[in-house]
Structure formats: structure tokens, C-alpha cells
Structure 1
Amino acid sequence: MMEGSPQPGSRSLTWRLTLSVLSAILGSFTFGYNTGVINAPQAIIEDFMNYTQLERSGNIMEEGTKSIIWGFAVAIFAVGGMTGGVLAGWWSHVFGRKIGMLLCNVFTIIGAALMGTSQVAKSYEMIIVGRLVVGLSCGLFTGLVPMYINEVAPTNLRGALGTLHQLGVTVGILVSQILGIPEILGNVTGWPILLGLTGAPAVLQLLTLPLCPASPRHLLIDKSKEKEARDALVALRGSQEVEEEMEEMRQEKKAGEKEAKMNLIQLFRTATLRQPLLVSVVMHLSQQLSGILVVFYYSTSLFTEAGIDDQKLASYLTVGVGGIMVIMTFVTIPLMDRAGRRTLHLIGLLGMLVLGILLTISMALQNLVQWFSYISVASALLFVVFFALGPGSIPWMIVAELFSQGPRAAAVSFGVLTNWTANFAVGLAFPPMQKALGVYSFLPFSGLLLLCTIFLWKFLPETKNKTFDEIASLFTGKYAAAVEVGESATRGITSKTDQNGTYGSSTESNSANESTNLLVKDNHMVTQM
């Protein structure tokens, strides 16, 4: 279908669709808030751990023990996220997208209650368990929210609305950084409230999401409930004229009946899905292995190392990082369906690659040239700008776009698992890597960025203004054509062998092989459309 041709479901933004998306991204906000909330009050919570241990045993913790327990408290959030990522596909299929998100809030509220009351209970273990439970909820949210938004959004708004998941994450990070300032809640009396506020977006979502329709695509394709799907679509579009979009979903359902619901093992075994699955994995790795987590988790120490001696100024610059993320995510919303996912993601990766190298050079030379410290800070802030341009939001939305309804849940689940696993690995690996490499600790991320950029330049397709069926055919259609013609060529050669006892002339054999190779090559090149 030509980009300029009418698309099924080309609609404007209605109040019901707006409410549905805003309510859904409260789950994204929860994820972002808990990504940033633990960093500001670190020293205060470590003192609480020491005081608790002193009351229990009469001895304070050894420095090594305290570091291990704190590292475990931080990392356990990612462990919960990985678990939620594995369960996301199954969870969305069994409970549906809407009910699945509502149930996630139960875990969020339990975790918030554990963390918020840990000081009163004099138990730092409650913080660890609370972060594990909230991590489980956030892992589920990172699969369910993009899936729900993709399925309720009309084709012409899917890119812009898909960006809102990342907007929710960045706003959550920014709010946690602001509230974590010592003058607000990042102090001895305020940190339990800071952690306990994790439950606030959960309560708000429990109040608003029941007013929103379920995913019409899930109702029709997964549950065969056509009337309920039509009602949901009418509510979302604010119009009775939804037949074109209903027909597009019927066609996807018809095509999906030929492919049963898949689990992860079946997904890996299906040859036609391996390339989009590999693209999905590299998309998530390009986000998490870019070095952005270093900026998020260690930005204050990074700015200090870059020559900012004022600790308070370094903390405010960290809040500035969150502010830039929010502003740039707003900027990308209208660009997503104009410039396209592929273009924005690759520009973002190339910008981060250049700035990561510039950051390393400026930090290495700042002792020789004093004003290089300003280049270091500017490079770090611009690094965030290019991350927010594409790599911050696109991996979350594009995985749901690359797969049809049958394998979509399993593919999204594996993408979320990949993302959280990479998050966990970077969080554990960076501190010793920073100690070993010093100012050159960004170089490994630059190398990984280069590899991801080369791969995605070759294999990442453009998905803007395409239906789910058209996107799936970018991979499966060409693959099937290559196999079919290749088999036809083989049958022709075999037939000639049966008739003549030989493969015939070398010209005929070479011609058949060239045709097959050309089609296979075309299958690989299709992702550059």
C-alpha cells in the first residue's frame, strides 16, 4: 500500500481515546518513578540500614556488607522486571490488556506499602521485597502498555501515541528526581513517603482505566467477540463508521487463524519470524546498551567526574537530564508518524555514538584543557537529547508492530525480557567497569552502539502508516516468495535430471541458482523499504 493512500482507521484524537492512553501510561509512569526514586536518598537509606542493624545486633554493618545489600536493593527491581517480562505475553492473553493492567496495580500497591512502612517497622528487608514486587508490576506494564496503546490507536496516530509510553517513563523519572531533592522528600523524615508514593499512580489508574474500552483487536481476534469489539471501537473513535477498521481486523483474524497462538519456544522455531525477532532484540539492546543507564543511574557522579565540583549543582544537573528527556519526548510525538520510526531511531543511535566518543575524549583531556569540562557536560546532555529522539521510545512500540496477532504477545514478552535483562546487566557491570576503565568507561558502550547501528541500518524496516498485516508481510511475504520460487527452481532442475539423467546444461543450472539467490537477497533487502 502506498504511503499516501487512505489507511484503515485514519482518525482524529477523541476524548475517550485520550483518556484510555493517558490512563494506560500511568503504568509507564510507575516504571519511570521507580527507576529514579531510589537514587537520591541512597545515603539516608544506608544510614537507616546501619541504624536498624545496630539495634538488632549491637553492631553496625561493615562497609562491604552495606554496599552488597544496597546493590541488591537496587538490582532486585530489575529481577522483578525480568520476571514480569517473561509473564507479560501469557498475562495479556489470559486477562486481556485492560484487566491485566488493572491487576498489576495490586502488586504496585503492595510494594508501595512495604517500602513506605519500612522505617516504622524498622526493616530494610521490606524495601528489598517491596522493590521486587513493584519490579514485577513494572515488568508486566512494559509489555502491556505499549501493546494496549498500539491496539487502540488508529493507524495514522499509532506512532505518536506509542511515544507516550516513553513520555510516561520520563515524566516518572523527572518527578522522582524532583521529589528526591533534600529540600522536599529526599531527607531523613521524607524518604519513606518518597518510596510510598509509588502507589499513587496505581490508585489513579484503578479509578480511570475502568472507564476506558478494552482493546478491540484483542476482543475480536483473540476472543472472537465481534459485538464487544465494535462497541469498543465506536467508543474509541467517537463514530459509528468503523466498518473499514473492523474489516482490517477481520482480515488479520482470518490470517491469524492459520497461525495458532505461540509461546516463546514456538516463536523461536518459526523460521519466518526469526528475522523480526532478531530485529526486536537488537532494538531493545540498542536502547539499554547505549550507555543511557549510566547517565540515569550515575549522572551526579558523572557530572562530578566531568569537573563539576559543586555537589548541589551536579544534583540539579541530574534533574535537568530528566527535564530534557520529557521535553524531547514531546518533540518526537509529531515526528514519529512524519519522519518514521526507522529514521528517528538511526539518527538517535548515530548521535549517541558520536557524543559518547566526544564525552570520552573531553573527560580524558579535561585535566589538560580546563574548559573541556563544559564539553563533557554538554555532551552528556546532548546524549540524552538523541536518546529521547528515537531509541528511548521506539523499541517499546515497534516490537508490537513487527508481529501479527498470533505471535505478538510472545514477541513482546521476549522483547521486555531482553530489555530488563540488559538493564540488570548494565547496572551490575558498570561500577566495576568504571573503576577499571575510569574516564574511558563509555567506550564499550560506543562499540556496542556501532554494532547495533550497522545491524539496524541493514535490517530495520519502516513501519509508519502501515497496517499490522502489511508490516508482517514485509518479512513473511518475501520469505515465502523466496522459498516458493527456490523450490520451483529445484523442482525444474530435478525434473530435468529425471528426464536426462544429468542436471542439464551448466547455463540452466546457474540461471536457476541465480534466480533463487536473487530472491533470497531480496528477502534480506526488504527490511530497507
Structure 2
Amino acid sequence: MEEKPSKSAEDPQHVESSSGFDVSAAQVIQHGRLFTTQGFTGIFSNKYVTLCAAFATMGGALFGYDQGVVSVTLVMDQFIEQFPEVGPDASGAGFKKGLMTAMIELGAFLGAMNQGWIADKCSRKWSILVAVFIFLAGSALQTGAMNFGMLVGGRFVGGIGVGMLAMVAPLYISEIAPPEIRGTLLVLQELSIVTAIVAAFYTTYGTRHIQSEWSWRLPFLLQMAPAILLGIGVPFLPYSPRWLAMRGRDDEALQVLSKLRNLPATDARVLQEWFEIRSEVVYRKEVDAERHPGLQDGSRWSRVRLQIVGYLDCFRPGAWKRTHVGIGLMFFQQFVGVNALIYYSPTLFGTMGLSYQMQLDMSGVLNIIQMVACWWSLWGMDKLGRRPLLLGGGICMTISHLVVSILVAKYQNSWETHPTEGWVSVAFLFFFMLTYGATWGPIPWAMPAEIFPSSLRAKGMAYATMSNWFNNFVIGLITPPLVQNTGYGTYIFFCTFCCLALVWVWFVVPETNGRTLEQMDDVFNDNTGEAEAARRARIEGEMATRVWHNGDAKAGGLATAGHV
């Protein structure tokens, strides 16, 4: 009996999957994929990927806790007694307060700068563990600090770990999340940060009543608990399928992707995403080989140099627009003034005539408002898109700072006789924080993690996070003398940058909502030349046929044609 030729033999672009599901290669490219419903409701349909993302954002909680623990600690009598350098009567106290506050940001800058190559080298998930150990060392130094230098050094070391965690968590989430809920899951990073800020604030609010040095040591000690929990849980997190594909571990990438999507490995939607990931990896490797032909011999020195030039590649044509957006978002996120409120809210409320107790109470309310607003963005990020939220947030924050600056300028010396105006100022600061928490809080963490190609994603995210920490450091350093010397000028300063942020977003930032990570070239209009288009078409054609087994494959076997 003559054997009938398979469809794959008749048409090389038509092959069978390992389960015998007959599919054309064109379908791999054109299949309309939908893994889950879009937005907030979608996170409940895939509990596994949501749980993984939520657990990874515990790194953000460590960052938020370190931010929130400072505001009350700086005004504790027991803390000032231990460190008179930051007391109200000390010479240069404003600068030293800023130095202590901002030192964690300086350490985080260095941590983020190095996390890019660490995340590429030892994987996204294991780089989290490295950061946890560094953070624990810094926390121990802060808890046991016997002098101001030791405290500042501990915050610097802890900052390195915080910077590494804040960089890799959004990166990891973006690479495991389906596009329909990627924005929502990335909001978890900011939500984790602001929830920890609230927890830290009320922890120190309570411990200030302890009549010993443990009033400030205990909050520093408690931050080690979530870090230890995160370190224990890291081995149970899945690898990023995109990192596995970058390392040539394609079979593992498919299996992990299948588990993350809660679908069989033979499902056309899973295979399509797997195909896109592998095609992107092959494309970037070809580009790198042409761009750096002298570094392809596989030696250790060549691999090191490739990591270094990878940072420079972020500013080449095809990537510099994304780097600009990533760095710019983090720059404006800090210069709209949010961390001035978080770090020094009691001091700022003091400029509005509030009593000491009311300053602390209103600082707590301010943090809670940010947390509530961030919860809203779980719904709004993927429903409304990134760009409309940034523009709307820029308008509202500009108005808030403008109104507050006018009121402070007019009544800063007569709040006792104008209490209503004082509370109006407080209300507009609350409005600012509400707007920020829903817009400029989560989006600058989300977008840099999704706009870079796979080969540059870790390094691009490192640049964006470095921008966050450097500008956070600057804000922490300049705010005390700015408030002390200019009063209402502080709010004019931040109002100006809110306005500039609005203009910048209008002209520069594109919409990325609902697009896969591999579709960002289209979003940024990169690689649109004929040669680039032809290269992509060739790779996609070759990869499409490899995503499926040929007709001789065993039923149920893994759908792969070898590493590429």
C-alpha cells in the first residue's frame, strides 16, 4: 500500500503539531491570541501568574517600607537623642537629614546599574535572591547603628539591594504576564510600594511611644521579615520564558509558558507566543552579530565586553527612543514632588500651620490616599491606557501644586487667623497624591519594563531604574533646604516640573496598552526600513515552521525543532 504524503511534505509551510493538530505555519503568525479578559478581572482567571507577580513585588515592598520609615523616625525624640546631628538645633541638620534620607537612593542607583547584567547572567529570579542578601546586610547595619556614619552606611548598603529588587521585579513581571493583564500586574509593583509605605508609617507612629532606642531600631529590624520570606520563596518562582529563550533553553521556555498561560503546550496561542519570543531572540542575535562581529568568539572576555556594549546599544537607532521614554518617565515621576511629600510630609504640613500631632495624622492619611488611588489603577491601567492617564495626571498635579503655592505664599505667616485656607492647602495636597497614585505612581514602573526588546530589556530597565534612584536621591537631598529657604517656592518648583511632564508626554510617549512585548517595534516605529523588514520576514518564516513538529513526530512529544 502506497503511503500518502503528509501535508508538511506537500507544503513546507503546513505542518502538524506534536499532538496531531493540523495547522498551517501562517496561522502561527496570524492567529488572534487572547489569553484572558483585559484589565482587573483578567487577573482572577490566571491565579498562578498573578500569584507569581504578586510575590515578586515583595521587593517593591522593601523599597516602600524604607521610604515610609523615615518620615516619623526623623522627628522621634529617641532618634534625635541617639543622632544629634539631625536635631533641629544642630548645625547643617537640613543637609544631614537629606543625606541620611537620600543615601538609600544613592545605593539603589548603584544596585540598579549592576542588576541589568546580573539579571541577564543568572536569570531574573535568582538575581532577586542576590538582592535579598544585600538588603538584609544593610538592614542589620541600620538596626544596630551606633553612630550616624554607621546608619548612613547601612542605608547605602540596603539601598543597593532595594535598587536591584526595584529594577528586576517589574522586569520579571513583564516577561511572565499575558499582554491583556500586563499593565494590571505591573501596577502591583507600585501597590506593593505604597502599601509598605503605609505599613512603615504606622509602625513608626506606634513605636515612637517606646521610651528607649527600640522606638526607632524596631522598625528597621521588622523590614527584614518580608525580605527573608521573599528569599525563601524565590526557588519556587518559575523562570522567565523570555530569559530561557535568550539562553537557548527553548524546550523549558515552552513548558514554563504553558504553565504561566494555564494552557497545554500544544495550544496555538501558546505556540504563537513561543514563536514570537524565539523569533525576537534570533533577530536580536543576528543584529548583535552584525553590530559587534569581533565579540562572537564565545570567550569570557568577549561575553563581558558584550554586556558592556549592551548598555551602549540602548542609545543606538532603534532603541534610543525607548531609553529616552524609560529615563524620562522616572525623571518626571520624582520631580513632580511625590517623595518630598513622603519623606518630609510632617515638615510640609508644618508650613501650613498644623500642630505636631496633626502633622503626623495628616501624613498617615496622605499615604493611605496614595494606596487607595493605586488600587484604582489596577482597573484603569489596562482599561484606559498609559498615555491618557499620564496626561490627565499631569494636568491635575499641576493644578494642585499651583493652588498650594498660592495659598502658602499668601498665608504662610498668618495660618492662625486663616485656618480654612490651611485646610484647603492640605486638601489639594491630598488631591495631588490621589492623582499621582492613580497615574504617575504606577505607570513609570510599568512602561520601561515593557518597551525594550528582549536583548536590551534588562539593561534598558536598569537605565530607567537608575534614573528613578538618582532623581530620588536629588529630591531627598534638596527638599529640606528648599522648604527651609523658599517656603512656597517648593511648590512652584514642583508645579513647573508637573507642567513640563505634561508637555513631554504629549509629544514623546506612545501608547503601549494591549501590545505584546514583541510588538513594541511597531509602537515606536523602529526597524521599519526595507532591509529590517525583510530580515524579520525571513526569520518569522523560518521560525514559524520550527514551532511545529513535522508529521513523523511522536504524538504528545514536545513541539520543537531544536535550539536556534
| Band the TM-score falls in, shorter-chain normalisation | 0.7 to 0.9
- CA distance 1:233–1:186, shift in 2 (3 Å): farther
Matched residue type, 1:438: G
- Give the structure-2-normalised TM-score: 0.78
Q: Is the 8 A contact 1:179 1:186 kept in 2?
A: no
| 8 Å CA contact 1:352, 1:387 repeated in 2 | yes
Query: For residues 469 and 511 of structure 2, what CA distance do their matches in structure 1 show?
Result: 25
- Asked if the contact 1:217–1:249 (Cα under 8 Å) also holds between the matched residues in 2, the reply is yes
SS in 2 for 1:259: helix
The CA distance in 2 between the partners of 1:115 and 1:180, in whole Å, is 15
- Residues 94/77 of structure 1: CA separation in 2 closer, same or farther (3 Å cut): same
Residue of structure 1 in register with 2:242 after alignment: 217
Which stretch of structure 1 is more off in the superposition, 64-73 or 428-437? 64-73
Once the two structures are aligned, what percentage of the paired residues are identical?
24
Of the candidates 166, 170, 173, which is equivalent to residue 149 of structure 1? 173
Q: Which residue of structure 1 aligns with residue 91 of structure 2? A: 64
Distance 1:430 1:479, change over 3 A: farther
**1:345–1:389 contact (8 Å) kept in structure 2:** no
Asked if 1:206 is matched to 2:231, the reply is yes
Residue type of the alignment partner of 2:286? K
For 2:439, the equivalent position in structure 1 comes to 390
Measured after TM superposition, the shift of residue 16 of structure 1 is 2.2
* Alpha carbons of structure 1 residues 187 and 254: separation in structure 2 relative to 1, 3 Å: farther
**Matches of residues 30-45 of structure 1 in structure 2 within 5 Å?**
30-42=62-74, 43=76, 44-45=78-79
Which is further off, 90-99 or 249-258? 249-258
What's the offset of the Cα at 1:22? 1.8
**Cα distance in 2 for residues equivalent to 1:481 and 1:172:** 50
Distance 1:364 1:165 in 2: 36
Pick the aligned partner of 1:167 from 187, 191, 214: 191
Which stretch has the larger CA shift, 274-283 or 286-295?
274-283
> Which segment is superposed worse, 161-170 or 205-214?
205-214
Provide Cα deviations, 1:342-381, integer angstroms capped at 9, x if missing partner: 1111111111011110111122233485421111000000
**In structure 1, what is the equivalent of residue 202 of structure 2?**
178
Match of 2:381 among 317, 324, 336: 336
Q: Which amino acid aligns with 2:250?
A: E
For 1:66 and 1:431, the matched residues in 2 are separated by 9
Work out whether residues 10 and 155 of structure 1, in 8 Å CA contact, stay in contact via their aligned partners in 2.
no
1:436: how far off?
Answer: 2.9
Matched, 1:271 2:297: no
Moved more, 229-238 or 67-76: 67-76
Contact 2:512 2:520 in 1 (8 A): yes
Give the CA deviation at 1:117. Answer: 2.5
Is the CA contact (8 Å cut-off) linking 1:37 and 1:173 kept in structure 2?
yes
> CA offsets, 1:218-238, max 9 Å, x none?
111x21111211222222222
Counterpart of 2:221 in structure 1 is 196
Shift of 1:285: 1.4
What is the match of residue 102 of structure 2?
75
CA contact (8 A) 1:160 1:334 kept: yes
The question of 1:231 aligning with 2:247 is answered no
TM-score, with normalisation over the residues of structure 1? 0.83
Give the 3-state SS of the residue equivalent to 2:488 in structure 1: helix
Matched residue type, 1:136 = I
Corresponding position of 2:341: 295
Asked whether the 8 Å contact 2:82–2:147 carries over to 1, the reply is no
CA distance in structure 2 between the partners assigned to 1:185 and 1:449 by the alignment: 38
Equivalent in the alignment of 2:405: 360
CA distance in 1, matches of 2:124, 2:250: 17
* Equivalenced residues, count: 468
Residues 362, 467 of structure 1: alpha-carbon distance in 2 compared, 3 angstrom cutoff: same
CA distance in 1: counterparts of 2:93 and 2:481, whole angstroms: 17
Distance 1:34 1:183, change over 3 A: closer
Residue among 57, 62, 66 paired with 1:25? 57
Contact 1:282 1:456 in 2 (8 A): no
CA RMSD of aligned residues (A): 2.6
SS in 2 for 1:33: helix
Distance in 2 (alpha carbons) for counterparts of 1:86 and 1:48: 33
Of 135-144 and 35-44, the range deviating more from structure 2: 35-44
Q: 1:439 aligns with which of 458, 477, 488?
A: 488
Of residues 353, 359, 365 in structure 2, which corresponds to 1:307? Answer: 353
Q: Match of 1:394, as an amino acid? A: I
Distance 1:331 1:127, change over 3 A: same
Describe the superposition over 1:307-341 as per-residue Cα deviations: whole angstroms up to 9, x where unpaired. 22x21122011111111111111111011111001
Shift of 1:474: 2.4
User: Residue 465 in 1 paired to residue 492 in 2?
Assistant: no
Cα–Cα, structure 1 residues 258 and 273, in superposed 2: closer, same or farther, change >3 Å? same
The CA deviation string for residues 68-120 of structure 1, in whole angstroms up to 9 with x for no partner, is 554432221111011012112112111211000011110121122222233xx
- Cα distance, 1:396 vs structure 2: 1.1
Q: Which residue of 2 aligns with 1:110?
A: 137
Letter in 2 for 1:247: F
Distance 1:318 1:424 in 2: 21
Q: Secondary structure at the match of 1:444?
A: helix
Whole-angstrom distance in 1 between the partners of 2:278 and 2:531: 27
Q: Is the 8 A contact 1:80 1:134 kept in 2?
A: yes
Q: 2:158 pairs with 124, 130, 134, which one? A: 134
Measured in 2, the distance between the counterparts of 1:127 and 1:181 equals: 20
Task: Answer with 105-114 or 177-186: which moved more.
Answer: 177-186
Answer yes or no: is the 8 Å Cα contact 1:151–1:215 preserved in 2.
Answer: yes
Query: Matches of 2:186 and 2:311 in 1, distance apart?
Result: 28
Give the secondary-structure state (helix, strand or coil) at the position aligned to 1:190.
Answer: helix
Mapped partners of 1:209, 1:483: distance in 2: 39
**Post-superposition shift, 1:196?**
1.1
Looking at structure 2, the residues matched to 365 and 124 of structure 1 have their Cα atoms a distance apart, in angstroms, of 38
- Closer, same or farther: CA 362–436 of 1 in aligned 2, 3 Å: same
Does the CA contact (< 8 Å) of 2:512 and 2:523 recur in 1? Answer: no
What is the CA-CA distance between 1:259 and the residue it aligns to? 3.3
Spell out, residue by residue over 1:246-286, the C-alpha distance to the aligned partner (whole angstroms, 9 max, x if none): 12212222322233376465235412222222122221111
Q: CA deviation at 1:432?
A: 2.2
Q: 2:273 corresponds to which residue?
A: 245
Counterpart Cα distance in 2 of 1:315 and 1:243:
54
Cα distance change, pair 280–138 in 1 and its aligned pair in 2 (3 A): same
> Which shifted more, 258-267 or 238-247?
258-267
Contact 1:185 1:193 in 2 (8 A): no
Q: Which has the higher contact order (CA 8 A, sep 6+)?
A: 2
Give the alignment partner of residue 16 of structure 1, picking from 48, 52, 65.
48
CA distance change for structure 1 residues 154 and 440 in 2, over 3 Å: closer, same or farther?
same
